[in-house]
Amino acid sequence: MLGALYSDANFARLAGLMRAARAGGPLPAPPRLDEVAIQHTGAVAGATICNDVAWPRSIERHRRDVRANRAAHPLTAGMPVNIGPCSFWHQPAEPPTRVTSKGPSNILLIQNLRHPATPYSGALKLLRAFGDRARMVTIDSGGHGVYLANGNACGDRAVTAFLAGGTAENLTCPAE
């Protein structure tokens, strides 16, 4: 389910899986996955996420969080708060970097409105924390990929212009 949320193109398949599960019928065959790509993605994501902040280490804490999350959000059934590698990862070697309005003014954020893991509200908070030194291109899309990934020419042009020329304005690109 989590993987299906990372691209709007997967929604029809996810809906079929959910219908089959609710009906108690046979589940569709899972998609074929590139195991090497999954391992690489998992390793990079784990190293990034686990080193970002300290994670709960108590199994009992995870147990309580999963129980509460399942009651509040039955569709994801505790998945967002379940125990994972970060609970056993070494503590970050350095304190997290504080994002402030001080520093270079060459930051461009790009964000899908309906990203499954990094909500738009969080992107707006980050943009505010950067102050006047950052701009954001928002794409009216779901899924994970943004630049050159979801076929949004407006967003692709804005990011390419920033990469080539170093300037950008806050921009919201409609769905295409």
pLDDT tens digit sequence for 91-129 = 777 777 889 999 999 999 999 999 888 899 999 999 999
CA distance 159 to 74: 37
Residue 163 or 77, more confident: 163
The pTM of this model reads: 0.75
Please name the amino acid found at residue 6: Y
pLDDT value at position 5?
A: 82
Residues 3-15 have a mean pLDDT of 84
CB under 8 Å to 17, separation ≥6 — which residues?
1, 4, 27, 28
pLDDT value at position 122?
A: 94
Residues 43-70 have a mean pLDDT of 87
Is residue 131 pLDDT above 80, yes or no?
Answer: yes
Q: How, if at all, do strands 171-173 and 107-114 pair?
A: unpaired
* Residue 44 structure tokens: 């990079």
Report the mean per-residue pLDDT for the chain. Answer: 89
76-97 pLDDT, tens digit per residue, is 888 888 888 888 888 777 777 8
- Percent of the chain clearing pLDDT 90 (strictly above): 43
Q: Scanning the structure block, which residue is given the tokens 């108590």?
A: 58
